[in-house]
Amino acid sequence: DVKVTQSSRYLVKRTGEKVFLECVQDMDHENMFWYRQDPGLGLRLIYFSYDVKMKEKGDIPEGYSVSREKKERFSLILESASTNQTSMYLCASPATNTGELFFGEGSRLTVL
């Protein structure tokens, strides 16, 4: 039973390209989060959204933007990809009553 789906498991992009990472949840949750994970640094929060068209910066928003036009979909956008954005990107959504966080499988992005 798939709950959080990320559109691409692996992507390879060139420096300067615009990159879209898509995340869809089928649990009717209000909140959605984007993290990136790098060796030795753990999971770091990029952006989160607690309602349609609402967004909040996380710990490392620089170089990223997000879009939440529909409740089920939260997109992470790299306007001009750079090599230091090579990383694993994880989308997550918490259950409203328990706070349990459901993660997608992750999108591994390589920027050349």
Partner 1 sequence: DAKTTQPTSMDCAEGRAANLPCNHSTISGNEYVYWYRQIHSQGPQYIIHGLKNNETNEMASLIITEDRKSSTLILPHATLRDTAVYYCIVRVVDRNTPLVFGKGTRLSVIA
C-alpha dihedral, 73 to 108 to 41 to 63, nearest 10°: -60
Choice between 17 and 102, CB closer to partner 1 = 102
> Minimum distance between the CB of residue 105 and partner 1, rounded to whole angstroms?
5
In the bound state with partner 1, the residue whose beta carbon lies nearer, of 17 and 103, is 103
- Give 2 or 112: the residue with its C-beta nearer to partner 1: 2
| Least separation in angstroms between CB 44 and partner 1 | 8
How many helices, marked H, and strands, marked E, lie in the chain?
A: 0, 11
Please state whether beta strands 19-25 and 4-6 pair in parallel, antiparallel, or not at all (unpaired).
antiparallel
* Site of interaction with partner 1 (CB under 8 A): 4, 30-31, 33, 35, 42-43, 45, 48, 50, 58, 90, 92, 94, 96-106
State the minimum distance, in angstroms, from the CB of residue 54 to partner 1: 10
Q: From the CB of residue 37, how many other CB atoms can be counted at a distance below 10 Å? A: 14
Within 10 Å of residue 17's Cβ, how many Cβ atoms? 15
| Identity of the residue, 18 or 89, whose beta carbon is nearer to partner 1 in the bound complex | 89
Q: Cβ of residue 16: shortest distance to partner 1, in angstroms?
A: 28
- Burial group, residue 92, by CB count within 10 angstroms (0-12, 13-18, 19+): buried
